[in-house]
Amino acid sequence: MTRFPTRRAAVVAGAGTLLILAGVTAQAGWLFVLAAGALGLVGGSLVVRHRLGSVEVERAAPRRVRVGDEVSAGFSLRNRSSSSVPMFVVSDELDAFAPATVGCERLPGNATAHVELVRGALRRGVFAEGRITMTSGAPFGLVRSRRRQVVPVDLTVVPRWVDLRSFPLIDPSAAATDNPEERPMAGAGQEYMGIREYRPGDPLRSVHWRSTARASKLIVREYEREVSARIGIVLAGADHGDGPESSFETLVSAAASIGLHALDAGHSIYVVQPGRDGVERLAEPSPHDLLGWLAALQPVDAPLDAAIDAAHDALGDGATVIVVSSDAGETGSSVAAALRSLRQRGSHALLIVAQSASWDKRHRATFDDVAVAGEHMRVLRADRELETCLAG
């Protein structure tokens, strides 16, 4: 705990000193009385005990929130000593939320005070602890005591995502493919493929009556069979810009949106992030696991090769791989090669690239071979909504 006089104390002490000088010059005793009063205020404040050491802080916050959500989060302030603690202020510096400051009037001995705030989750991440600063300058604000304390917390702030209606390569009818598993098949899906003769077992509601009348035999509508595909998401890139809408956060949000859409469509996904010391990977996660994994990701500017290899090893030839990447730095410079490599291996690749310069003009794109991506590319920009960008 630190204790220090404030600027006001310096002003009061300065006034006291000036009064002494004036007392000497004017030969006036009352000025010494006033000076003693002013200096006594500072001296008395130095003796006042703030007892912040006896205050125990406990957080109350939900365990999982999404970036941008407003949640109820608060504290319990317990005075462990039998003496009261004068008025103090608690500043919460937990990175997940915007800084918040709450006040507490005199807290009697052994008493507990509660405070609740509605706070917006600002920052994605997994938070195990957060710093609390307690300050008291009671009663005159002349001398301030400060105690910093790290308070444990169990909080995961998952990335923001958008609900996609459709997305290329993930929707089964989106692209023709040689891969039998990915070719459209008759089934109970939603996409209309054509008509055929009735087979026993076909539901009556699928009969196409006009064609039946024309052909004089039962003709039914044929629907595409929805198949479960293997989809890889490779996420990489450094961070540009500030705050919850920075380039990497947007990439993570994009990955979360695509991943959730894929899971929703019944696909299994494999998520990879290249790192300096290997790759981070997450295989066949649930939506909950996917968001939790993405919450902990940190931006890394690393080449994509290792991550592409890892995705290929896990998914095999012909898989669908979505590269979610920055266009700058080492990551950006390896994008074109990664796409070529994927195609050579028979995989279907889609590039989601964040235009770094739109977040920070100082950054130059190192990925400029747009032709490599062809039409399978989406560009994320700071000044455009994620949903719009992903829709192409």
Partner 1 sequence: MPGGLIEIVRKANATRRPEDSVALRACVLGAVMVAALALVAERAVSLSTAALLTVALPLAYWVSYRRRAKDNWHIKIALTVAALFALFRFLGQLTGVATLDEVRFPLAELFLWVQVIHGFDLPARKDLNFSLGSSLTLMAVAGSISQDLRLVVFLVPYIGLVVASLALTHRSEVDEKVAAWAAVPRPSAGGLSRIPALREILRAVALTVVAGVVLFLVIPQPSGVRTLALPFSVGGGAGFFGGGGVANPGFGSGSPASRGAASSYYAFSDRMDLRVRGDLSDELVMRVRASDPAMWRGIVFETYDGVAWVGDEATATSLGDDPPFPYPIEFRSLGPRQTVSQTFYIEQELASVIFAAGQPDAVWYDGGVRIDELGGLRTDSTLTPGTVYSVVSTRGAATDEELRKLPHVEPPENIARYLQLPDDLPARVAALARRITAGAGTDIDKVRAIERYLRDNYRYSIDSPVPPAGQDAVDHFLFDTDVGFCEQFASATAVMLRTLGIPARVAAGYTPGTRNPLTGYYEVRASDAHSWVEVWFPRNGWYEFDPTFDVPPATMQAADLFPLARLVRAAVSKLGDVLPEGLGRGARDAIGYVLIATILVGAWIARRKLRPTRKQRAPVSVEAWGPITRALARYESAAAARHRPRAPSETAAELLRRTTGADRDASAALRAFERERYASEPPSWEETAAAVDTFTKLRDELVSSDRGS
Minimum gap (Å) between residue 133 Cβ and partner 1: 12
Cβ neighbour number for residue 375 with a 10 Å cutoff? 7
Q: Answer yes or no whether residue 41 interacts with partner 1 by CB under 8 A.
A: yes
Nearest one of 369, 267, 281 to 320, comparing CA atoms: 267
Contact 81, 68 (CB under 8 A): no
Nearer to partner 1, 22 or 186 (CB): 22
Nearer to partner 1, 11 or 391 (CB): 11
Nearer to partner 1, 111 or 283 (CB): 111
Q: Answer yes or no whether residue 107 interacts with partner 1 by CB under 8 A.
A: yes
Rg (CA), the chain: 32
Q: Answer yes or no whether residue 229 interacts with partner 1 by CB under 8 A.
A: no
Q: Answer yes or no whether residue 3 interacts with partner 1 by CB under 8 A.
A: no
Q: Answer yes or no whether residue 335 interacts with partner 1 by CB under 8 A.
A: no
Q: Answer yes or no whether residue 73 interacts with partner 1 by CB under 8 A.
A: no
Q: Answer yes or no whether residue 13 interacts with partner 1 by CB under 8 A.
A: no
Stretch that binds partner 1, among 63-71, 73-81, 225-233, 260-268 (CB under 8 A): 73-81
Q: Which of 1, 10, 111, 296 binds partner 1 (CB under 8 A)?
A: 111
Q: Answer yes or no whether residue 7 interacts with partner 1 by CB under 8 A.
A: no
Q: Answer yes or no whether residue 166 interacts with partner 1 by CB under 8 A.
A: no
What residues are paired with 74 via a beta bridge? 60, 116
Q: Answer yes or no whether residue 47 interacts with partner 1 by CB under 8 A.
A: yes
Minimum gap (Å) between residue 274 Cβ and partner 1: 41
Nearer to partner 1, 56 or 317 (CB): 56
Stretch that binds partner 1, among 27-35, 217-225, 279-287, 327-335 (CB under 8 A): 27-35
Q: Which of 60, 87, 122, 314 binds partner 1 (CB under 8 A)?
A: 87
Integer CA distances (angstroms), 115 to 73, 80, 81, 131, in order: 9, 17, 20, 17
- Give the count of residues interacting with partner 1 (CB under 8 A): 63
Judged by phi (left if over 0) then psi (alpha if -120 to 50, else beta), residue 352 lies in beta
Q: Answer yes or no whether residue 102 interacts with partner 1 by CB under 8 A.
A: yes
Q: Answer yes or no whether residue 112 interacts with partner 1 by CB under 8 A.
A: yes
Applying CB under 8 A, the residues found at the interface with partner 1 are: 11, 15, 19-20, 22-41, 43-45, 47-48, 75, 77-78, 82-84, 86-87, 89-90, 100-117, 137-142
